[in-house]
Every structure is written in structure tokens, then in C-alpha cells.
């Protein structure tokens, strides 16, 4: 919304400047000889010369009043439509289209309220050229910005989008499979150890009664004593 208000204010300011310059030209230059306006050293760049142009920009299509009223209306409408349509994605339209619209409105006011004639007052001297006005300058600069943007800026944006798509990595829906583990060779199975032979069971010692054992021991003692 703010950009629309600013654009409308810029267009109104440009149209107001154009009409103010035309009123000044009517009051100061009408019926007067051309006079120097821009001089740099010995170069005479531009004169101020009052003429009334019944044609389009730079005196073209002279005498076609109906076309020169309808066509600017279509052009101005297209400018506002493109501003609304492309303004959010292409910033350059906010520089080009308001200039074109303001220039078209400025000259359209002359054709409607000044009997189909546009007031021109700038006479370029370095080459043979038509007399023009501030509104013509606005249209020319706006068209130049428009063509430059379409040829160069649009091309750069398309190349940037292509490069961005080329760099973008697609999203993998499934995780990549891990490499299979290398299987180790099976170890050789050792032969079973031979079973140890069972140990022989020793016979149990016979147990003697305690009295018998004591007698034997006493007899052995007497024998040793007699000897």
C-alpha cells in the first residue's frame, strides 16, 4: 500500500512539473525568438523555442488527434496494470512505468485541453532533432529503463534461477543402504580331546580293632627287649 501511495505521488509530481513548465513556456516563450539555454564553452547544446505540436512525442504522427488520445489512455492503463501485476517481483517496474505513465498523462492533458496541441520548448542543437518537452523526456527515460531491464535484468534473473536449480540437491526419501559387512572366514574346528582313562580304585584298607592293634605293638616291644 505504501509503495502505491509513493508511486501515485511521484506520478502527480512529474505531471505537475510538466504542466508548470508548459505554463512557463506559454508565458515566457510564446511569440519570442529562440534563445540559448545550455552552452558549454563554444558548444551550443540547447535552445528554448516555443512551438505547438499536433503530433506525438518528438512531433511524430502529426494530425491524428483521435489516435493520440486513445493510445495514451491505453498505455497509461497498461502501466498501472503492470505495476500492480509485476511490482512485487520486479523492482525495476517502479522506476520505468511511473515515468512512462507521467509523461503520457502530461501530454494527454495538452491534447484534451489545448485543442489537440502539445506545448514543446526544448530545441536540441547538436544535431537536427525535433523540439520536445519534459513529458517526452519522462517517456523516453522510462522506455529506456524498461528495455534495459527486459534485455539484461530479466536474463540475469533467469540464469540465476537455472543455476540455483542446478545446485539444489534433491531430497532423498529413503536413506542410503549401508555397505554389507565383510564376512570373516569360519575358524577350523579343533578335534575333541581324548578322554582320560579312569583311575584304578584302590582297595580299602582293612581296619583292625584298637585292642588288637595295641597287643601287636606290645608284643613287638617285648621282643626287642629280650633280644
Instruction: Report the domain count for the chain.
Output: 1
Pairing of strands 35-40, 43-53: antiparallel
Averaged pLDDT, groups of 10, the chain, 227 residues long: 85 96 95 88 87 72 75 90 83 88 93 89 84 93 92 69 57 61 67 66 59 54 50
User: Which residues, at least 6 apart from 38, have a Cβ–Cβ distance to it below 8 Å?
Assistant: 44, 45, 46
User: Which residues, at least 6 apart from 95, have a Cβ–Cβ distance to it below 8 Å?
Assistant: 142, 145
The answer to whether residue 7 sits within a structural domain is yes
Q: Tell me which residue range forms the domain holding 92.
A: 2-34+62-115+134-158
Strand partners, 51: 120
The answer to whether residue 163 sits within a structural domain is no
The answer to whether residue 12 sits within a structural domain is yes
Active site annotation includes 221: no
Active site annotation includes 44: no
The answer to whether residue 174 sits within a structural domain is no
The answer to whether residue 204 sits within a structural domain is no
The answer to whether residue 172 sits within a structural domain is no
State the sign of the Cα–Cα–Cα–Cα dihedral 148, 149, 153, 157: negative
Which CA distances in Å does 168 have to 160, 161, 165?
A: 12, 11, 5
Strand partners, 38: 46
Give the pLDDT confidence score for residue 225 in this predicted structure. 47
Alpha carbons 2 and 208: distance in angstroms, whole number: 129
Alpha carbons 116 and 55: distance in angstroms, whole number: 8
CB atoms within 10 A of CB 15: 22
Give the pLDDT confidence score for residue 42 in this predicted structure. 79
Give the pLDDT confidence score for residue 40 in this predicted structure. 80
The answer to whether residue 102 sits within a structural domain is yes
The catalytic residue among 18, 110, 120, 123 is: 120
The catalytic residue among 18, 110, 123, 136 is: 136
Give the pLDDT confidence score for residue 182 in this predicted structure. 67
Give the pLDDT confidence score for residue 184 in this predicted structure. 67
The answer to whether residue 178 sits within a structural domain is no
Give the pLDDT confidence score for residue 126 in this predicted structure. 80
What is the spatial order of strands in the sheet that 35-40 belongs to? 35-40, 43-53, 118-124
Give the pLDDT confidence score for residue 98 in this predicted structure. 93
Alpha carbons 65 and 111: distance in angstroms, whole number: 8
Amino acid at each position: 500500500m505504501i509503495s502505491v501511495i509513493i508511486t501515485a505521488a511521484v506520478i502527480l509530481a512529474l505531471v505537475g512539473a510538466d504542466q508548470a513548465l508548459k505554463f512557463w513556456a506559454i508565458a515566457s516563450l510564446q511569440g519570442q525568438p529562440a534563445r540559448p539555454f545550455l552552452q558549454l564553452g563554444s558548444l551550443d547544446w540547447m535552445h528554448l523555442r516555443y512551438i505547438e505540436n499536433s503530433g506525438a512525442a518528438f512531433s511524430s504522427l502529426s494530425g491524428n488527434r483521435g489516435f493520440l488520445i486513445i493510445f495514451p489512455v491505453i498505455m497509461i492503463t497498461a502501466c498501472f496494470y503492470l505495476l500492480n501485476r509485476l511490482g512485487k517481483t520486479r523492482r525495476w517496474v517502479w522506476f520505468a512505468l511511473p515515468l512512462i505513465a507521467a509523461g503520457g498523462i502530461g501530454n494527454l492533458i495538452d491534447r484534451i485541453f489545448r485543442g489537440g496541441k502539445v506545448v514543446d520548448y526544448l530545441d536540441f542543437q547538436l544535431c537536427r532533432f525535433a523540439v520536445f518537452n519534459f513529458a517526452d523526456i519522462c517517456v523516453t527515460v522510462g522506455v529506456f529503463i524498461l528495455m534495459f531491464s527486459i534485455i539484461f535484468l530479466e536474463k540475469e534473473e533467469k540464469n540465476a534461477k537455472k543455476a540455483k536449480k542446478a545446485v539444489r540437491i534433491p531430497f532423498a526419501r529413503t536413506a542410503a543402504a549401508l555397505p554389507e559387512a565383510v564376512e570373516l572366514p569360519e575358524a577350523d574346528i579343533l578335534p575333541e580331546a581324548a578322554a582320560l582313562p579312569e583311575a584304578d580304585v584302590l582297595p580299602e584298607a582293612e581296619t583292625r580293632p584298637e585292642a588288637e592293634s595295641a597287643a601287636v605293638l606290645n608284643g613287638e616291644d617285648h621282643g626287642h627287649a629280650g633280644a
